[in-house]
Amino acid sequence: MEDMLSWMEEGGQVGICDATNSTRSRRNMLMKMAEGKCKIIFVETICNDQDVLERNIRLKVQQSPDYAEQTDFEAGVRDFKERLAYYEKVYEPVDEGSYIKMIDMVSGNGGQLQINNISGYLPGRIVFFLVNCHLTPRPILLTRHGESLDNVRGRIGGDSSLSEVGEVYSRKLASFVEKRLKSERTASIWTSTLQRTILTAQPIIGFPKIQWRALDEINAGVCDGMTYDEVKKNKPEEYESRRKDKLRYRYPRGESYLDVIQRLEPVIIELERQRAPVVVIAHQAVLRSLYAYFADKPL
């Protein structure tokens, strides 16, 4: 907690103190430590489903470094249950300060969300995110659109249709999706509003298709329609700025990767909410950002 507070004072914005703060006195101590330094929100999850608990315990023993040296799996499970029993003896439910309490929400069949003393933009976004999260496993398939005519010409941006190679790709993708998701009738196909993604999705039948403006390619602003060689020749300072810091570089009257990441937030929340498979047909910068989120890559 002290490490986290000093990091916050050095400019950190959000810290997560992952610990079983199961008594009032412990939580009060944390709130006292944070006074005048940062705001604390307690997040408590309560699960009464014994099957889910058993599955989680076994997953924890299987994956936790605490049990890496333990060769007897069942002995590890017994040890973990003993630790839980100890926590149960001293446990006092959260009812102080700012808190978000999720009760039996894991199955997605109802459950309860209790929030107390939550205000401000970021705490509100945290609540919104937690409401939409669940543990139902499902595939999320990311693919770029088929080759476009502008790709062939090496031009940035634009809204051209597919090349012959791109059309072949769209048919092969349809065949793949129909085989891969044949038993998943509730799956959906998401595209941007640009015709190269819509045309790539066209041969896929049997699934609803949703267009998202937030999935459109990075806006290249004044460089839209140019080749990289033309940018290098006509706007050498822009070419060099982009080469030096691709993440933060913003095209004049266009976007940066950071802008793209920000506009993808509603897409990510909606992807987290989905319980059925989703096929996302989008663009290079957009897919890099989505992939980085799901693969937990640093900014």
Residues annotated as catalytic (active site), given as ranges: 18, 47, 145, 217
Show the tokens assigned to 234.
């006509």
Q: Alpha-carbon distance 267 to 262, whole Å?
A: 10
Show the tokens assigned to 256.
């940066």
Q: Alpha-carbon distance 187 to 179, whole Å?
A: 13
Q: Alpha-carbon distance 27 to 95, whole Å?
A: 10
Query: What are the Cα distances from residue 155, in Å, to 36, 84, 97, 158, 227?
Result: 53, 59, 55, 8, 4
Show the tokens assigned to 134.
């669940």
Q: Alpha-carbon distance 196 to 194, whole Å?
A: 6
Contact criterion met (CB below 8 Å) for 174 and 204: yes
Q: Alpha-carbon distance 196 to 178, whole Å?
A: 20
Q: Alpha-carbon distance 241 to 254, whole Å?
A: 14
Q: Alpha-carbon distance 104 to 113, whole Å?
A: 9
β-pairing, 278-282 vs 112-116, is: unpaired
Q: Which residues contact 64 (CB under 8 A, 6 or more apart)?
A: none
The neighbour count for residue 177, using CB atoms within 10 Å, is 24
Length of the chain: 299
